[in-house]
Each structure stands twice: as structure tokens, then as C-alpha cells.
Structure 1
């Protein structure tokens, strides 16, 4: 009898242990006291579920409900799973978001210290599901006139610092008080199939990858008042080995952007198969309803930008489809840092790009004296501009503005309605087509201080007086297989010193 009792006791213990193992990986926040009525503060209950999950690993489950919360600290080996009708609602009080010490010195670290979900130095973490995370960003004041106070006490929705093996998938992110998501110095990051809406406050970026490496972003659909998919380098960490694919992006500012901060630089980045479309939000805080720029590659605070490939982009309505800038703002990433020297921008390749309803400004690839952009190609690019530029604009001198904040519209209306290129070495244009909705009296292309320029199969609409190419201080220009006007003076118009100019095998005829 005693032996049977012992066997029965052991069997119960075994079954109990088996049951524990079966359910240990699923942590429902209701079991820790979360209410989910949109009013009760569920922070402690959710954090307890996260902490318990971290002891064994698994998933913290958010069921149907609206769970109001202050800052949550994510731990290693934890997945936050949001069911379809679950909402994590960020508190509308800045005091509910304690300042965090990321342990990393970066530009912005003096004021950007808060987040709804914060993770530092963790590994193997995920945010998944089909629920919503809402930061209630419109409730946070951002109208202080002086910098940097205007940035303080506005939390990110997601902030990951020096984390590894991160996955964010499926969820909807809405209404951050600041940037929607900031990944700083992270490795092996996958963002897949998320939806973003960020139109509730200033500085409402969609996604900021900052000094991260080995990153895949795909199937993102987002709409933001400020910049869209943004790759930054606010510290010596290099942003490298990044793939962005099959995204649909709307931004009042720059849809796809490298910069502005560039301390560590950008290397080995591929952006492909994306659509850039006008924002559904027609009122703006910054920028333009249809966007200031489609692709902006900006290098102004030192560092190296190299091996950048942008391919298969369709865009509509952006003022400036393509903007490449090497400047010399030379901003330190913290007060005690050395002032950065002029950076390096090289090996930049853009192909298979179609843009319609672009604005009147024109595209530009512009370095600075002593800072030349090297080896840039535009291949199979078709852009339709608004047109309407005057003959006077064609002779307009463009200031260097080397120390200015980089912006695709920073120079105003350019001398070229298609492409203005200055301080470049190794520029190749192949199968490029420029057109305008109304006649434009500017040149299609203006070159200044340009070396080794190769143009083939250029097809650009011209007014009756405008030249195809206007060139000054050019050393090496070869043009072939392109459509040129009959008037030789309008084919390649030299307005300054030039040498090694060759035009062969082109098609000559009336426009």
C-alpha cells in the first residue's frame, strides 16, 4: 500500500512538472493582474509577466483589451505577442517614462532618454502578432522654441540599445511622441510586416536604424510626418550590412534617408523594390503633403558612406526624387569629441527608378570644395517633373552651403530641371529619361567641377531654347547614344573651363 502511495505521489509530481513545462512558455498578462480596460495602469502586471518569462524564456501574451502602461523593460529570451484585438496604450504622462541610461554616448543622448518599450543589451527578443502599440504622442508638449528642450520628455515607442537577435513582426505601431522606433548599436535585427502611422507630434520618424549591423527590413507599410525609413550614425558605430526590401513608404519629409548624422558612417546597404507614395495625412508639421524627397543620401558629419545600392523604386509626388549630398556641417556627436573632417561618399548606385509628379526643384548630387562624391551611377532612371522653370534659373549661381543642414530643397530651384551635379568624380548616367509636365527653360543636366562623366542613352525633354547639358569646370565628359537638339550650341553648352569633351554616336533632331 505504501509503495502504491509513493508511486501515485511520484506520478502526480511528474504530471505536475509536465504541465508546468507545457505552459511555462506562455505568460498571459491577465494572470499577473492586467485589467485591459484602457484606464487602469497595467504597468506592474505586464512587467511582472515579462520578468517571469525571462526566467525560463517564452511568450508574454496580450489578449483582447486596451492595456495602459508606462515604460516596460524587455528582457532576454522574451517575446511579446499581441493578439489581434490587443492594444498596448502608452501613458500620456511624461513622468511615467523614467530616464534610461543607455551606456552609449551618441548625439541626442542628452535629451532622448525615454521609451514605452525599452531594451538594453538583451538578446533573442521579439515583438510579434497583429495587435497595436499606441504611444498617444499628441499628448506630449513639443512646442518649446529652444533646442534641445523641445526634444525632452517625449518618449520613443520602441528603443533598443546594443541588443542582438531582435525580431519585430506583424504589429501596428501608432502615434509616438518622438521617433517611432530607435535601434542603436544593435546586431542581427529583423523587422518584417509591420504597419506604422506616425502623425501626432514633431520629429515623428517612422524607423531609425542607428549604427546597427546585419539588418533586414521588409514588408513595412508606413506613413510618417517626418522621415520614413532612416539610417543614421549618431555615434562611432557604423550602420552596415543592411537590406531594406518590399516596403511601402509615405513621408512628409524624406521617404528613404541616410543621415543626417553620419559620425560612424554607412556601408554595404541595399534598398530595393519599394514604393514611395503620397501621405494619407494631408496636414503637415514638417515637409510637404506629398513628401520633400524620395531618396536622400546625406553625409555631413564626417564618416564614410560607401557601397550603397538603391534599386527598383517607384515614387509619386515627391518634390525631389533623388538627393545625394556630401557636406561639412561637422557636428560633434558629443561636446568633448573631436570635430569631424569632411567625410567620404563613394560607390553609390541607383537603378530602375521611376518617379512621377516630381516637383520643380530638380535632383542633385552635390559635394563641397575638398569633398568630392566619387563613383555614382544612375541606371534606368525615368523621372517626370513639374517643369515651368525660367531661363533666368539656368544661369543661377548655387551657393556651397557646406555647413548647412542637408535638405533636398536646400538650394532652391536648381539650374537644371533634371540633375544638378557639382564636385563629383566618376558620374555615370545610362538610360536616363527626364520629362516635364510643362515646358522648362532650364538645362536637363548641369555639371560643375565634375570629372570622368559618362552619359549614354539620355532622353530629356527640352524647351526651344534650353541646352541638353550645361557644363563648367569639367574634366572628361563622354556622351553617346543620346537624343540631342540640332543646334550644336544647345547640345553641350560650355559656360566655363572644360577639357576632354567627346560626343559621338548620338541622335540629332528637332524636339
Structure 2
């Protein structure tokens, strides 16, 4: 066995000091970030060529690659080397103390033969569910890595359904000619009849009392795997590689601790169904930095389980650093939710760029989720050509809120239960957005306002300004709103303890619209109202006393 040098690019991080054994840990801050421990490996190298692998593009190397990984782990660990070449393979299973290193000139191509992927008990959007085995997976491991500058391709196009409206006419005709099944209305292509039947079956693949994996066998094609799934692993490093063309989510880490993602490139087509870049679910101590994402769904996403199942697990995603990343096309640049029933806290996002995403900073949940998302710190974010909101807090994900349409509702709030979600304590500083449909949308629930949203020193050049619906303790300070539609520039509905301090703008047809009986304690400070044709309008039961204007 020869030796290979692998640069792990370890970046030192610092944790807040401990007081006494019985005392609480000091709160994290930008000066005292969470600590993320990285794996260390032996230098021994296990080249897959020595285990019978062939880079001829048609030999299936599943056995050779997995044998190299198993041998490496059994001998105390080291580097499993995938050298230059095109390596066709089926599912690869990681083992402890193994660094799977994909050389820059290597393409690890997963096969389109779905029979190579067996049905397993996995996880789908926060629920235990039947899935096909992932191209790369690992469970209950410690000290593992996926490194190198090579390319890992999941052959996702053979797994996904596709809408006709998401392709050109030539692309659609080519897809239909390749096989598969077209829906009766001619609008959707399915890879197979089994996939189509699965899409039409409510709760397909969900596991529960009286359900087994065998019951789902006729619908096998429907259960698209996530590309890389690591479950309950400790000290994980993903560094340098390109992961592309995944069947569903690209990277899914579940219940992991000490996860580092550095200089990784994720590439999925914009129309890749559920083609998330990275989903970090119920993980602790995480660093994502220097990475680039093109995604068919959310780019960088924080999750923690869904509904009762997620609350029962009770594992928040916590102590996370996200910095120096770029997200191109995606449903959201940095996202929390909507499966956040176990909660999320102590998350630091800085120095990121979002270009062409549907939404920039996206925080989403809905009734029934439960869970608390709190203590989120964000600074130095640049955005351009955002399709919808630059910043979105939405507790009606998948639905429509009362008051979102023409008339503001003043209905009584429904009872708060463990299934009521909560967003609180977000601190946002220095966001610059050039181009979006709307600068800011805050949309809480009547029974649970979104609380403690603080946005400072930020600039938004957008079509519309800001909506604050069912918010509490919200502040905008030193915020510039350059909006085309200024009737109103800032819309406030059933919200209280709102502070607008030194808000600047070019001009406004209507500066403020305040609606709803529950709108109270709104302050407009150090803001030039002379540029507004109309300063304020009160509607739907809002009292004039709800607003105070001062220096």
C-alpha cells in the first residue's frame, strides 16, 4: 500500500468558554462560534484498481469499490482512492475511518440500472419511508470523509418525473421517445408505470403499523433516493468534490454531529424535482463553507423532522456556521424548514451570495409542524435577480393566510398547542439585494406571531417594499427601500411593537398602511416622510393611536 497526501483544509473554530461543570455554556456569538471537530485519517491508501475495478465505462464496479472500503475500515482506516477514469458503479456504502477520495480526473458514475438499488427503510421529508438505496450512504459511522476534486453523478434523469411545461418542445419529444409513460392529460412524463402509480397513491411508501417494505415493491421506481445520505454519523468531512444530477436531494445528513462541508460543488438542473442542494436535518455542530450550489429546489436547507414524528424525535439542528457560499438557481438560497418540527437554533450565516434564486433568505413552516426556530444570526449577504422575496418568513407554507388577499381578517386566534410552530430572534445585518419582487415578507399566524425580527444596515432594490403580517417586536433600522410599487411602501397588518428607524427611500405614493385591530405600538423614527405623497393610511379597524412618529 502506498501513501497519498490529502489536504483536509482544517479551519480552526472557537467555542465559548465553559464556566463550571454545573454552569450553563456562554451563549454563542460572532466572536464565539460553535466548534466543529474534523476527522483524522491514517495515510494508508487503498486503490480500487487493486480490487479489480475497471475504468472502461461499462464494467459495474460496485463490488470492487465496496471491497476496498470494507478492507480499509477493517485495517484501521485510511484513504480509498478512486483514480482517473470513468467508473460505473452501483450503491457505495461508507465505513468508519474511511476517506473516499475521488481524484480530479475521475468520474464516479452511478448506474441507471434501478435493480442495483434495493428498497430500504429510509426517510422522506421528515418521515420514516420506503426508499431506494442511495448511491452513497453511511449509518452509525465515525470519522468518515468524501474528498477530492472529482465528479460524482447520480444519473438522476432516469429517476425523476418531468412536467411538459418545464422543457422545450424538442426536449419533451426526446424525453417521450426515450420510453416511460405520459399522463392521460399529456402534461407529465413518468419513468415507468410503477412511478406513475406511486404518484397517484396517497401516502405511498410511508411506513407505519401494518406496513412493510415488501408492500411497496410494485411502486419501486417511485421511491427516488437521495444521492448522499449519512445517518447518525460523527466527524464527517465533505470536501472538494462535485456532486451532480441526483435523483432527489443531493446531500442529506440526518442526526449527524461534527459535520464539515468545504469547497463542495452541487449541480442539479433547475427543473430537477426535489433537487435540493444540501439538507442538514437534526444535526449538531456543522460548518458549511466555500461551497457552490445549483439546485432544483432549496439550496442550503436546515431541517429537523416533520410534524408529530419530528417533535417526538426532538432533535434540533443546532450550532451551525454557513459562510462564504454561493447559491445560483434554487428555490431558496439559505432556508430553514418547512420540516423543522424538532427546532433549529444557534445558526450563523455570513458572507454568502445568492444569484437567481426564487427566494434569498427563506424561513418556512405551517400549522401542525410545531418546533421552535430561534437565535439565527445573518450578516453580509449579497443577492441579485431574486424572483420573489429577498427575505421571507412564512408560517403559511403551502397555504394562504387570512389577510393576504383583499380584506384583513380580525378573527380570533385558534388555540396554541405543541403543533404550533414558532419563529423568534432573528438578527440580520448588511443584506444587499439588487432585484427582487419584494424586499421583505413576514407572515405569522394569528395565534403565534413571528417575534424578534431585526434587520439593519440593508439595501433592497425591488418591485415592492415590505409586508409585516402578524409580527411582533420587529425592527428595521438603517434600511433603504427602492421600490417601484409604493402604494404602500411598508404594509403592516395585525402586528405590534414595530420599530421603523431611519428607513430611507426615493419616494412613495403611500409610506405606511396599517391594518387590523391588533396593530399597536408602531414607531416611525428618524425617517423623512416628506418624500411620501401620503404618509399613512389606517384600515380594517386599525386605530390612529397605533402609530407614533418621532425623531
TM-score (norm 2): 0.74
Work out whether 1:201 is the aligned partner of 2:267: no
Matched residue of 1:458: which SS?
A: strand
Mapped contact 2:382–2:433 kept (Cα < 8 A): yes
Q: Which residue of 1 aligns with 2:352?
A: 274
Work out whether 1:504 is the aligned partner of 2:550: yes
Work out whether 1:295 is the aligned partner of 2:361: yes
Q: Which residue of 1 aligns with 2:169?
A: none
Where structure 1 has 5 or more consecutive residues not aligned to the other structure, the ranges are: 1-15, 279-290, 331-338, 387-416, 506-511
Q: CA deviation at 1:99?
A: 2.7
Q: Which residue of 2 aligns with 1:214?
A: 285
Q: How does 1:97-246 map to 2 (within 5 A)?
A: 97-101=117-121, 107-142=126-161, 143=190, 144=196, 145-146=199-200, 152-199=222-269, 201-234=272-305, 235=310, 236=313, 237-246=315-324
Mapped contact 2:499–2:522 kept (Cα < 8 A): yes
C-alpha separation in 2, matches of 1:316 and 1:328: 24
C-alpha separation in 2, matches of 1:503 and 1:329: 37
C-alpha separation in 2, matches of 1:105 and 1:195: 23
Matched residue of 1:342: which SS?
A: coil
Matched residue of 1:302: which SS?
A: coil
Matched residue of 2:510: which SS?
A: coil
Q: Which residue of 1 aligns with 2:326?
A: 248
Match of 1:320 among 376, 382, 389: 389
Q: CA, structure 1 residues 294+328, in 2 after alignment: closer, same or farther (shift >3 Å)?
A: closer
Q: Which residue of 2 aligns with 1:3?
A: none
Q: Which residue of 2 aligns with 1:94?
A: 114
Farther off after superposition, 125-134 or 476-485: 476-485
Q: How does 1:466-477 map to 2 (within 5 A)?
A: 466-472=509-515, 473=517, 474-477=519-522
Q: Which residue of 2 aligns with 1:401?
A: none
Cα shift readout 1:174-233 (whole Å, capped 9, x = no counterpart): 110111010011110000001111117311111110111100000011111211001111
Mapped contact 2:338–2:397 kept (Cα < 8 A): no
Mapped contact 2:465–2:486 kept (Cα < 8 A): no
Q: CA deviation at 1:311?
A: 1.1
Q: CA deviation at 1:441?
A: 4.4
C-alpha separation in 2, matches of 1:69 and 1:164: 26
Match of 1:304 among 372, 380, 383: 372
Count of residues in correspondence between the two structures:
428
Mapped contact 2:507–2:531 kept (Cα < 8 A): no
Q: CA, structure 1 residues 323+24, in 2 after alignment: closer, same or farther (shift >3 Å)?
A: closer
Q: CA, structure 1 residues 486+137, in 2 after alignment: closer, same or farther (shift >3 Å)?
A: closer
Mapped contact 1:306–1:346 kept (Cα < 8 A): yes
Q: Which residue of 2 aligns with 1:378?
A: 455
Match of 1:71 among 85, 91, 98: 91
Q: CA deviation at 1:328?
A: 8.2
Q: CA deviation at 1:148?
A: 5.3
Q: Which residue of 1 aligns with 2:181?
A: none
Cα shift readout 1:37-95 (whole Å, capped 9, x = no counterpart): 11100000000000000012101001111111111110000110111111111111222
Q: CA deviation at 1:24?
A: 7.7
C-alpha separation in 2, matches of 1:32 and 1:97: 22
Mapped contact 2:120–2:130 kept (Cα < 8 A): no
Q: CA deviation at 1:260?
A: 1.1
Mapped contact 1:326–1:372 kept (Cα < 8 A): no
Q: Which residue of 2 aligns with 1:455?
A: 500
C-alpha separation in 2, matches of 1:309 and 1:343: 19
Match of 1:445 among 476, 480, 490: 490
Matched residue of 1:227: which SS?
A: coil
Q: CA deviation at 1:107?
A: 2.6
C-alpha separation in 2, matches of 1:252 and 1:106: 18
Mapped contact 2:119–2:130 kept (Cα < 8 A): no
Q: Which residue of 2 aligns with 1:419?
A: 466
Mapped contact 1:302–1:328 kept (Cα < 8 A): no
Q: CA, structure 1 residues 458+172, in 2 after alignment: closer, same or farther (shift >3 Å)?
A: same
Matched residue of 1:50: which SS?
A: helix
Match of 2:57 among 10, 24, 38: 38
CA RMSD of aligned residues (A): 2.3
Mapped contact 1:226–1:253 kept (Cα < 8 A): yes
Where structure 2 has 5 or more consecutive residues not aligned to the other structure, the ranges are: 4-41, 162-189, 191-195, 205-218, 400-416
Matched residue of 2:120: which SS?
A: coil
* Structure with max Cα Rg: 1
Q: CA, structure 1 residues 480+441, in 2 after alignment: closer, same or farther (shift >3 Å)?
A: closer
Match of 1:25 among 30, 34, 44: 44
C-alpha separation in 2, matches of 1:95 and 1:201: 22
Q: CA deviation at 1:454?
A: 1.1
TM-score (norm 1): 0.79
C-alpha separation in 2, matches of 1:68 and 1:456: 59
